């Protein structure tokens, strides 16, 4: 049985925060942010919205694009590091909003979350447990960012992307590679708000409820592991970088993507980039990019696509698949 993407959807909150807006909040400027990251603006979730609201809207669009009855969905997976609550899962909230009966759980692998979730959804179908799985990446990064830390707050944004996985006539999933290296946990961490350190007054005063990141280390890590994981899935598919029609990488920093294009001797137009509009939306970045590439007509039936994630955990991974729509 061939298993692939039946439909895609995404949702970005309306509020736009530009680099110029940020320069009024912290000591930074548009030129610095653009040249160091490629980011021009990002979206910010509304005060009365949470991650499940973004996820739900992206899911509605993916179901519509797939042209299926929503009741056919048997499992909802939400990849997120900014869940609405510690419990219940964001996925259960989305399942309820969709008005369907389905199993639902969240998956935590930060910016690699969607790659893990896609592989998980695929595996459930391959094992014969479910026929159609809704896989969502959704984040409200603005809720965990320290808006006084110019080293991190300029990078992140909010949004959601979703795909419906199911049986396809041709193409679909070819190979997946997932890695975790917990020894690098402290390089990208929200120290408080979990069982290690509750979000008490001390944690709030020390700003430990916000994300802390070692930008330079993460940059080096990304440039090292990105080619490693891509080479792994290309080998599984017995193809070379020249055979790939489109790379859809995690949208963290355009300099990371450029260095990989150079390394693989591939033109930049084979790498989908939309981080200038949305910044780094963590687990949402890859499914948002897949949806935009789909809606912009950049994906043709039979195209070989590689999606790549890297980030907190530390985690990284990629999937090679053939576009079947
Ligand atoms: N505006 C202006 N100046 C800034 C700044 C900002 N927003 N942030 C840092 N600077 C300053 C630094 O203080 C430093 O000044 P100094 O030389 O006087 O000490 C200088 O700019 C260079 O800082 P540095 O950290 O070396 O910059 P960089 O080129 O490494 O770029 C990042 C910083 C964060 C953009 C880059 O490291 C990065 O993208 N890392 C990966 C982060 C990431 O993708 N995380 C998510 C992974 S999923």
What is the DSSP secondary-structure string of 244-274?
-SEEEE--S-HHHHHHHHHHTT--GGGB---
Is 280 annotated in the active site? yes
Low pLDDT (below 70) residues in the chain: none
pLDDT of res. 194: 96
Which atom of ligand 1 is nearest the CA belonging to 311? 48
Mutate which of 79, 151, 152, 189 for ligand 1 pocket (most atoms within 8 A of beta carbon): 151
List the residue whose alpha carbon is closest to atom 15 of ligand 1.
151
Which atom of ligand 1 is nearest the CA belonging to 312? 48
- Find the 154 Cα to ligand 1 centroid distance in Å: 10
pLDDT of res. 201: 97
Residue pLDDT, tens place only, 155-200: 999 999 999 999 999 999 999 999 999 999 999 999 999 999 999 9
Is 111 annotated in the active site? yes
Extended beta strands in 142-296, E state: 158-167, 172-180, 188-189, 212-213, 246-249
Name beta bridge partners: 302.
none
14-58-65-93 Cα dihedral, nearest 10 degrees: -140
Which atom of ligand 1 is nearest the CA belonging to 255? 39
Is 250 annotated in the active site? yes
- Find the 155 Cα to ligand 1 centroid distance in Å: 10
Which is catalytic among the residues 153, 250, 253, 294? Answer: 250
- Find the 116 Cα to ligand 1 centroid distance in Å: 28
**Residue 88: cis peptide before it, omega within 30 degrees of 0:** yes
d(CA 114, CA 318): 10
Q: Which two tokens stand for residue 144?
A: 């965990």
Q: Which two tokens stand for residue 58?
A: 């992206």
Are 197 and 207 in contact, with CB atoms under 8 Å apart? Answer: no
Query: Taking Cα atoms as reference points, which of 213, 162, 200, 164 lies closest to residue 51?
Result: 162
Which is catalytic among the residues 111, 177, 253, 294? Answer: 111
Burial (CB < 10 A; 0-12, 13-18, 19+), residue 121, is buried
233-238-241-244 Cα dihedral, nearest 10 degrees: -90
- Find the 192 Cα to ligand 1 centroid distance in Å: 24
Q: Give the residues surrounding ligand 1 with Cβ less than 6 Å away.
A: 28, 32, 36-37, 111, 150-151, 154-155, 213, 215-216, 218-219, 252-253, 280, 311
- Find the 215 Cα to ligand 1 centroid distance in Å: 6
Are 7 and 132 in contact, with CB atoms under 8 Å apart? Answer: no
- Tell me the residue length of the chain: 325
Extended beta strands in the chain, E state: 3-11, 15-18, 41-44, 75-79, 103-107, 133-140, 158-167, 172-180, 188-189, 212-213, 246-249, 304-311, 315-322
Are 287 and 137 in contact, with CB atoms under 8 Å apart? Answer: yes
List the residue whose alpha carbon is closest to atom 31 of ligand 1.
36
pLDDT of res. 189: 98
Query: Taking Cα atoms as reference points, which of 256, 321, 267, 257 lies closest to residue 294?
Result: 321
Mutate which of 108, 216, 229 for ligand 1 pocket (most atoms within 8 A of beta carbon): 216
Query: Taking Cα atoms as reference points, which of 165, 155, 164 lies closest to residue 188?
Result: 155
- Find the 139 Cα to ligand 1 centroid distance in Å: 22
Give the helix/strand (H/E) hosting 195: none
pLDDT of res. 55: 98
State the sign of the Cα–Cα–Cα–Cα dihedral 32, 35, 36, 37: positive
């Amino acid at each position: 049985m061939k298993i692939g993407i039946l439909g895609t959807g995404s949702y970005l909150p309306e509020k736009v925060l530009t680099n110029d807006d940020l320069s009024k909040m912290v000591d930074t400027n548009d030129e610095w942010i653009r040249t160091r990251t490629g980011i021009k603006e990002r979206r910010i979730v509304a005060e009365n919205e949470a991650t499940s609201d973004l996820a739900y809207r992206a899911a509605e669009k993916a179901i519509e694009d797939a042209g299926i009855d929503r009741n056919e969905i048997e499992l909802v997976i939400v990849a997120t590091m900014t869940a609405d609550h510690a419990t219940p899962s964001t996925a259960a909230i989305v399942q309820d909003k969709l008005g369907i009966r389905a199993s639902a759980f969240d998956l935590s692998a930060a910016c690699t979350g969607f790659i893990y979730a896609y592989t998980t959804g695929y595996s459930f179908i391959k094992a014969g447990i479910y026929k159609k799985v809704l896989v969502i990446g959704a984040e409200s990064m603005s809720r965990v960012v320290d808006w006084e830390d110019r080293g991190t707050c300029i990078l992140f944004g909010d949004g959601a992307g979703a795909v419906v996985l199911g049986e396809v006539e041709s193409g679909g999933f070819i190979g997946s590679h997932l890695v975790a290296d917990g020894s690098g946990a402290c390089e990208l961490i929200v120290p408080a708000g979990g069982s290690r350190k509750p979000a008490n007054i001390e944690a709030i005063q020390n700003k430990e409820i916000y994300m802390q990141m070692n930008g330079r280390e993460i940059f080096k890590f990304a440039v090292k592991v990105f080619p490693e994981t891509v080479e792994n899935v290309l080998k599984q598919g017995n193809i070379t970088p020249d055979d790939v029609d489109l790379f859809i990488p995690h949208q963290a920093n355009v300099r990371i993507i450029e260095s990989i294009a150079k390394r693989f001797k591939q033109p930049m137009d084979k790498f989908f980039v939309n981080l200038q509009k949305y910044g780094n939306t963590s687990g949402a970045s890859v499914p948002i990019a897949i949806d935009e590439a789909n809606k912009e007509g950049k994906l043709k039936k039979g195209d070989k696509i590689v999606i790549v994630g890297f980030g907190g955990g530390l985690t990284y991974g990629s999937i090679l698949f053939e576009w079947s729509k």
